[in-house]
Amino acid sequence: MQLTYRDIHYSTQTSNSVPYEGFAQSVQLILDENRRVLNETVYAALEHLAQAITEANRIFVFGGGRSGLVMRMAAMRIMHLGCQVYVVGETITPAIEQGDLLITCSGSGNTGSVCAMAVTAKTIGAQLAVITANKTSPLAALADLTVELAAVTKHEREAARSQQFAGSLFEQSTLLLLDALFHVLSRTLNKSTQSLWAMHTNLE
């Protein structure tokens, strides 16, 4: 007979247990790890990315797996700023050209599909921005600008820098960093809340 979460959870509870203590501890762990990563981030690199976004003709984003989901969320916010932005792999995404910006995200910097996209973009003459946890990776070597996060990659299996599974910390901190980037850009570009909402889809 297979035990359920409920069976295991309640069998380990004692009279001294704090309700939902495990969840509270996990949330605190995740917050603490992300705070550490973001506090160690070199914000000058983020400033360069912000400038590249505002100067690009068009913006393309790409990442694999969960990193790809993070980049989709970032693309949505970049769209709210009024920029022309595309997610690589969608059927409506046009050819990248010189003067465009490709923003890629890979914790390891070794993801094959991401590296292949980067090589293509660089060959064409587009600018390449890389968000990674590995500044010595092949992907970072191709970059015009790199934002390095002091998070573990999914290939690092020791718990020295993160107790979370795989690339969770990198993906979380990337999302927080890109949301901060959006917040700064919206203020720098004098985008009011009304103008941002005006760009939001009305086909929901």
38 falls within a domain: no
15 falls within a domain: no
pLDDT tens track for 36-87: 999 999 999 999 999 999 999 999 999 999 999 999 999 999 999 999 999 9
Provide the domain limits for residue 76.
Answer: 44-196
pLDDT above 60 for 2: yes
Per the annotation, the verdict on 171 as an active-site residue is: yes
Q: What is the tally of structural domains in the chain? A: 1
d(CA 119, CA 63): 14
The active-site residue, picked from 33, 148, 156, 171, is: 171
Report the pLDDT value the prediction gives residue 184, as an integer from 0 to 100. Answer: 96
- Report, as an integer, the average pLDDT of 188-202: 94
- Report, as an integer, the average pLDDT of 143-158: 79
19 falls within a domain: no
126 falls within a domain: yes
CATH code: domain of residue 164: 3.40.50.10490
